[in-house]
Structure 1
Amino acid sequence: MPIATVNPADGQTLKTYDELSAEEIERRIARAAAAFRRYRTTSFAERARLVHRAADLLEEDQQDVARTMTTEMGKPVTQARAEAAKCVKAMRWYADHAEGLLADEHPAGTDVKDSGAVRARVRYRPLGVILAVMPWNFPLWQVIRFAAPAIMAGNVGLLKHASNVPGTALYLEDLFRRAGFPEGCFQTLLIGSGAVEGILRDPRVAAATLTGSEPAGRSVASIAGDEVKKTVLELGGSDPFVVMPSADIEEAAKTAVRARAQNTGQSCIAAKRFIVHTDVYEAFAGRFAAGMRALKVGDPLDESTEVGPLSSEQGRKDLEEIVDDAVRRGATLLCGGHRPEGLAERGWYYSPTVIADITPGMRIHREETFGPVAALYRVPDLEAAVELANDTPFGLSSNLWTRDDAEVDRFVRDIEAGGVYVNGMTASHPAFPFGGVKRSGYGRELSGHGIREFCNITTVWQGA
């Protein structure tokens, strides 16, 4: 079955690709296994040289790869360039820090003697061939934040990217090839989701990482569990954005617009539920709705566009159904809630939307909205805000706006999420661990925690 690049700005098919045959998949797995046997013994200095070279090439390619991402999945081109730049930064960070992050650890001397050892240490060794199943919404960043630490740890990668971004997937394979990595260190597999199980069950594949939907995560986790293989999952999110009376309301509202509309709202870590103290609700709601209404929706290749099309026609339909359900059940539209005139006839656009008066019976209260749609709530105090923030099956990240340190401490203690961002919006950074709890997944990416996820943590005990 062909894999196609369809431009979401106009619905036109740009290019089609053939899926890999079973024989070619076998050749690529064998190539990856052979590459690992050689690559795992390379020095950190050699790996760092190669990753730095890949970062330099990506920096040179920034304009072209940004255009590829934009035409494949609709990301505004300015945001696509920023994504490429973020990948360059992360690659250089891991090239510079991996050796220190994976340095041998030495237990305290007394503990070593108690064990009967003359010497003991903990060593981090690479696991092997890692299968990465990646989504379309950040088609470069999601891959690099896996690949940079995994490759610096001495692993090799097989990428099964989302089927609507094949050009970006092939670019990534070519990037590592041009940087000088040994053949087989990083390969793209142009395959459908049906081929994933066979690859994951192959004994030469050591582990898997997936970023994507909850159903996809459950599927990969169950297969890997049956094979007793390590997985890291980063799944959906319905992040709360809590605003308390002591906050800078003007800044909170401006940031809320960016937090909801980034990547046309198609981000797991985008703030989606805006939970506002009643004392500042009206002031925040007016500013927030005005900011969302003012966003420029248009051609993602236009430098001034802030919100592009959704990645697919089905994605827009799903979003419309959630919004229509809320309105039908009594919610109030503060802005948006429709397809923009003049654009929707050509591509898969949806207007930035703010919905108030949400009740628990509405789909928007329980489901992730993957597009520029915000749910707005009013609460009487922090206790109610935390209770509402936790009333979701997801637990990826969270945001709190306050100048009260006691409120910060209480929120950090009680929120069920993998991250807390105070007076700012959630963003991933190579130095900080990233991941969630509950149905947002498990394991961590980035930082030292991320690079160790795909390592064999080995105790080395030596007697006399």
Structure 2
Amino acid sequence: MAIATINPATGTTVETFPELNDAEVEQKIGIACERWRTYRNTGFDERAECMRAAADLFEKEVDVAAQLMSTEMGKTLAAAHDEALKCAHGMRYYADHAAEFLADEPLADASAVGARRALGRYQPLGVVLAVMPWNFPMWQVMRFAAPALMAGNVGLLKHASNVPRCALYLEDVFRRAGFPEGCFQALLISSRKVESILRDPRVVAATLTGSELAGRSVAAICGDEVKHTVMELGGSDPFVVMPSADLDRAVETAVAARVQNNGQSCIAAKRFIVHADVYDAFTERFVSRMRGLKVGDPFDPATEVGPLATEQGRADVEELVDDAIAAGATALCGGRRPDGPGWFYPPTVITGITRDMRVFAEEVFGPVASLYRVADIEEALEIANATSFGLGSNAWTNDETEQERFIADLDAGQVFINGRTTSYPELPFGGVKRSGYGRELAAHGIREFCNLKTIWMG
């Protein structure tokens, strides 16, 4: 894929960017390595001052950042605006809490191990490569960059090829905020250059958010090199609705959960599993709301669903829906691409899904909801867990026994009861099964790229 800004609402190429050559990549890695030798010894107060300055820039330039995101990947301007402010919030969170999260830890009763003192100290690992996706082109990067920089690491960003302006903007923000040159660098490169960077001994770890295929590749290379990785991969999150649920809230949240970011979110609810007692009422309201959503120009304030980010992305969604319908599923709304320019796909609800359909097992990365009727909580859990993914999950019930059952038995890194799965700086984020491993955000996220050094003092 060319490194280019292509407006997904029109399909028009706005700007192309040259790929860094091998010598330029080598130079940037060298700069990062040299910078880490000094940056690792800076104090938390100094790092926090720069991080808060970066947050100030995001808040001051929120309209600039939002326009970049909407232009490059098609999210609505309102959603892009919120994403930019969320970045500022995440930066302030780590500026405020990094010293606390990485404070020395007493490890044991010192006398039990024959020591005067026994403690653990968190120290930064070094140069970390972040391979990041286009769907949250600034927030996803910030989930890595804010904790990594506050811990004393330095970052190299290999961003998705369709959001180069966002990548360069992020690098520029950190530079203007006062971080030393080389602390955070964007690498405008194709995926074919990633392996050589991962195998460079100066790059000590990697984090990736993206497809399962990309995650397997990066994890395999880093495994061969014995380098630490964090993987946040795909998701096919269940959204379970039981009879005791507040149906009005559940429907409104279900719509928002499915079409957030134009349906292109790993933690978007994708499979709606509804108890038979409320299935008809839920379906009627849900389909009506999905059918009524306004699809259009992401810069139009009235737009609720913009285009998909890439032409291939739309083709992938279309292929999964067409496969299901050809095999006997029914589209209750949507299901056909509109005429005209841009990579739009309508909000779609499909039912009558069987296990031999691809949509049963694969992630649909667009505004398509799969709807299932179940007889009881046992069947709900069976379908919810009948996936290779395990990122987020949602369960709607006011029955406390059912709530505890979902918390215990949903195979996921996150369970949200009577709410929509989302990411907060304050909560750890990550999945199980083929949704990846490791955690971002909260204290867990900043510790991922630290060495917990055991210290024994006699």
Query: Please, what TM-score do these two structures have when normalized by structure 1?
Result: 0.98
The question of whether the paired residues in 1 share the 8 Å contact of 2:2 and 2:161 is answered with: no
1:55 maps to 55
1:45 maps to 45
User: How far apart are residue 360 of structure 1 and its match?
Assistant: 0.5
- Aligned counterpart in structure 2 of residue 369 of structure 1, from 344, 350, 364: 364
Any idea what the Cα deviations from partners look like across 1:130-186, whole Å, max 9, x if unmatched? Answer: 000000000000100100000000000000000000000000000000001101000
SS state at 2:344 partner? coil
Map 1:393-404 to 2 at 5 A: 393-404=388-399
Map 1:77-96 to 2 at 5 A: 77-96=77-96
2:451 maps to 456
1:438 maps to 433
User: How far apart are residue 294 of structure 1 and its match?
Assistant: 1.1
| RMSD of Structure 2 on Structure 1 (CA) | 0.8
Map 1:102-121 to 2 at 5 A: 102-108=102-108, 111-121=109-119
Any idea what the Cα deviations from partners look like across 1:418-455, whole Å, max 9, x if unmatched? Answer: 00000000000001000000000000000001110000
The question of whether the paired residues in 1 share the 8 Å contact of 2:208 and 2:230 is answered with: yes
For 2:291 and 2:197, locate their aligned partners in 1 and report how far apart those are by CA, in whole Å: 46
Letter in 1 for 2:449: F
Map 1:302-451 to 2 at 5 A: 302-340=300-338, 344-451=339-446
2:256 maps to 258
Letter in 1 for 2:349: V
Identity across the alignment (%): 66
2:207 maps to 209
For 2:396 and 2:367, locate their aligned partners in 1 and report how far apart those are by CA, in whole Å: 21
SS state at 1:130 partner? strand
Letter in 1 for 2:288: A
For 2:110 and 2:400, locate their aligned partners in 1 and report how far apart those are by CA, in whole Å: 42
User: How far apart are residue 313 of structure 1 and its match?
Assistant: 1.0
Letter in 1 for 2:317: L
Query: Please, what TM-score do these two structures have when normalized by structure 2?
Result: 0.99
The question of whether the paired residues in 1 share the 8 Å contact of 2:317 and 2:364 is answered with: yes
1:33 maps to 33
1:175 maps to 173
SS state at 1:72 partner? helix
Letter in 2 for 1:209: T
SS state at 1:242 partner? strand
Any idea what the Cα deviations from partners look like across 1:2-55, whole Å, max 9, x if unmatched? Answer: 521110100110001100011110100000001100100000000100000000
2:5 maps to 5
Letter in 2 for 1:84: A
Structure 2 residue 151 is the aligned partner of structure 1 residue 156: no
For 2:357 and 2:284, locate their aligned partners in 1 and report how far apart those are by CA, in whole Å: 23
User: How far apart are residue 216 of structure 1 and its match?
Assistant: 0.2
Q: Which runs of 4+ in 1 moved over 2 A?
A: none
Letter in 2 for 1:69: M
State how many pairs are aligned: 458
For 2:428 and 2:176, locate their aligned partners in 1 and report how far apart those are by CA, in whole Å: 29
SS state at 2:238 partner? strand
1:16 maps to 16
User: How far apart are residue 304 of structure 1 and its match?
Assistant: 1.4
2:286 maps to 288
Letter in 2 for 1:34: E
Map 1:182-261 to 2 at 5 A: 182-261=180-259
Distance 1:278 1:219, change over 3 A: same
For 1:94 and 1:3, locate their aligned partners in 2 and report how far apart those are by CA, in whole Å: 31
SS state at 1:231 partner? strand
User: How far apart are residue 65 of structure 1 and its match?
Assistant: 1.2
For 1:286 and 1:2, locate their aligned partners in 2 and report how far apart those are by CA, in whole Å: 43
SS state at 1:279 partner? helix
SS state at 1:395 partner? coil
The question of whether the paired residues in 1 share the 8 Å contact of 2:32 and 2:183 is answered with: yes
